Amino acid sequence: MSTHHTHARSTLPVAGEDHARLTIDLSALADNWRAMARRSGAARTAAVLKADAYGIGLEPAARTFHLAGARDFFVATPAEGAALRATLPDVRIYVLSGMWAGSERLFFEFDLVPVIASEEQLAVFMAAVSDGRDHPCVLHVDTGMSRLGLRVEDALALAGDVARPASFSPIMLLSHLACADDPSHPLNRQQLQRFRTAVDAFDGIDATLANSAGIFLGEDYHFTLTRPGISLYGGAAVNDVPNPMKPVVTAEARILQVREAKAGESVSYGATTVFSRGTRIAVAAVGYADGYMRALSGSGVPLRKTNIPGASGVLHGRTVPLIGRVTMDLTHFDVTDLPEGSVRAGDFIELFGRSMPIEDVARAGGTIDYELLTSLGSRYERRYEAVKK
C-alpha cells in the first residue's frame, strides 16, 4: 500500500510541521462505493462530490470512484462541477443548485447538467438554449423537503403542457428524501408516492430519489439512479443501526505537551472542569479552527447545561476523554489512566477514524458526521493511502 501526501487545499501546512493529519483510505472509499452499488440493485449508482468530496479532496475522491465504476457525479455548484470536469473529462456531472442568470457559460463550457429547481431557473435555462443549443437538464421536484424543486402539481402541469417548448426535455427527474435516516417515518412513503406520480407523468425518463439512507430503504426507492453521499465517506446514513460502511478518514493530532494538574485545579477557558484528583493532561494541537468543534466539549460549553459528556480520543489503543473546552488551536485529554510515561510529546491521538467511529464523535458534539467532515480545516497534512491493486 502506497501513501502520498498533498497540501492541495492550502499552502499550509509546510513540510515537516505535521501538527495534525488526515489519513484517507482510498481503498475503503472504493469499497464503500461498490457496496452501495450492490445495494442499489439494477439502478446505476452515482457519487456525490459536494464540498470538496465531503472534505477529503475532490480530485483523489473522483478518480477513486471513477476507477471503481462510477460514471455519474453530483456536485452542489457549477464551480465544483468545473473543477471536477478538469479531473474527469468523460463523465456526466449534475449541478444540484441549478442554473441562474450569469452562470450559463459555466454549464456550457464545462458540459454540466443543471438540476432545474424553480420556474425562475427554468426560464433562465430556456433562454440559454433558445438559440437551438441542445443541452441536457434535470428537473427537481419537491415531494416533501420544502427546500428546492417545483411542487408536484406544478411539475405535473409542466408535463401536460402542450405548449411546452420541445427544447425542454429533461433527461431525468430528481427529488430528495427528508427523513430517510429514519426508516419508519411516514414521510418516506408519502414522498415515494408523490415522486412516482411525477415520474409517470414524464413517461420513460430516468429518475433519482435515493440518497445514502434512501438506498437502505430498499428497491422501491432506487428508480434508475441512486446518489450516495455520506455512506461513501464512511459516515452513518441510518439512525440507530450499526454502520456497515468502512471508515475512510482518520483524523489525528500531535500531543504538544503532557502536564500534571493537582486536585482542585481546572483546565481551559471558563474553568468548567475542576479536577477531583491529580490528573495528567495531554494537550493536542487541534481545535475549532481545524473543524474539531467547540461543541465537542460537551456540557462545558455555555448554554448546554445538561450533563452531556464530551468527545473522546484514542491514544495507544486506549480511549481517553476530552476535558475542558476545545479552543481555537488546542484540545485537552485526560490521560491519567494510561501507564505513567507512556504518553509523550510528539505522540498522535486519534480524534476519529479507524478506532473512534466518526458518528460517535459527532453525537458527542450534538451534530452529524457530515458536519465534522465538511468542516475540516486546511491545517491538516493529508495522506492518501492508494487503492490496493
pLDDT digits (tens, 9 = 90+) for 192-237: 999 999 999 998 899 999 999 999 999 999 999 999 999 999 999 9
Task: Assign 3-class secondary structure to 28-53.
Answer: HHHHHHHHHHHHCCCCEECEECHHHH
What are the cell numbers at 112? 454540466
Instruction: Give percent of the chain above pLDDT 90.
Output: 84
62-89: average pLDDT:
98
Q: What is the pLDDT of residue 138?
A: 97
pLDDT over threshold 70, residue 150: yes
Q: What is the pLDDT of residue 387?
A: 87
Extract the annotated binding site.
147, 328
Using pLDDT thresholds of 50, 70 and 90, give the confidence band for residue 30: very high
What are the cell numbers at 198? 411525477
Domains of the chain: 26-233 (3.20.20.10), 249-385 (2.40.37.10)
297-308: average pLDDT:
61
Extract the annotated binding site for substrate.
147, 328
Report helix, strand or coil for 242: coil
pLDDT per residue over 365-381, tens digit each? 989 999 999 999 999 99
Task: Please give the Cα distance from 287 to 133 (Å, whole number).
Answer: 50
242-261: average pLDDT:
97
Task: Please give the Cα distance from 107 to 348 (Å, whole number).
Answer: 44
pLDDT over threshold 70, residue 383: yes
Q: Do the beta carbons of residue 329 and residue 205 sit within 8 Å?
A: no
| Mean per-residue pLDDT of the chain | 92
Task: Please give the Cα distance from 334 to 134 (Å, whole number).
Answer: 62
- Return the DSSP state at 246: P
Q: 240: burial class by Cβ within 10 Å (0-12, 13-18, 19+)? A: exposed
Q: What is the pLDDT of residue 190?
A: 98
312-330: average pLDDT:
96
Q: Which of 29-38, 150-159, 376-385: highest mean pLDDT?
A: 29-38
Q: How, if at all, do strands 331-334 and 279-284 pair? A: antiparallel
Look up 269 and say whether it is catalytic: yes
121-135: average pLDDT:
88
- From 50, 94, 221, 370, active-site residue: 50
Task: Please give the Cα distance from 175 to 191 (Å, whole number).
Answer: 9
pLDDT over threshold 60, residue 4: no
Using pLDDT thresholds of 50, 70 and 90, give the confidence band for residue 130: confident
Q: What is the pLDDT of residue 300?
A: 62
Q: What is the pLDDT of residue 11?
A: 45
Q: What is the pLDDT of residue 8?
A: 41
- From 262, 269, 370, 389, active-site residue: 269
Instruction: Give percent of the chain above pLDDT 70.
Output: 91
Q: Do the beta carbons of residue 192 and residue 182 sit within 8 Å?
A: no
Whether a cis peptide bond, with omega within 30° of 0, leads into 13 is yes
Please give the torsion angle defined by the CA atoms of residues 87, 91, 92 and 98, in that order, rounded to the nearest 10 degrees.
0
Q: Do the beta carbons of residue 343 and residue 280 sit within 8 Å?
A: yes
User: Structure pTM?
Assistant: 0.92
pLDDT over threshold 60, residue 3: no
309-319: average pLDDT:
93
Residue type, position 377, single letter? G
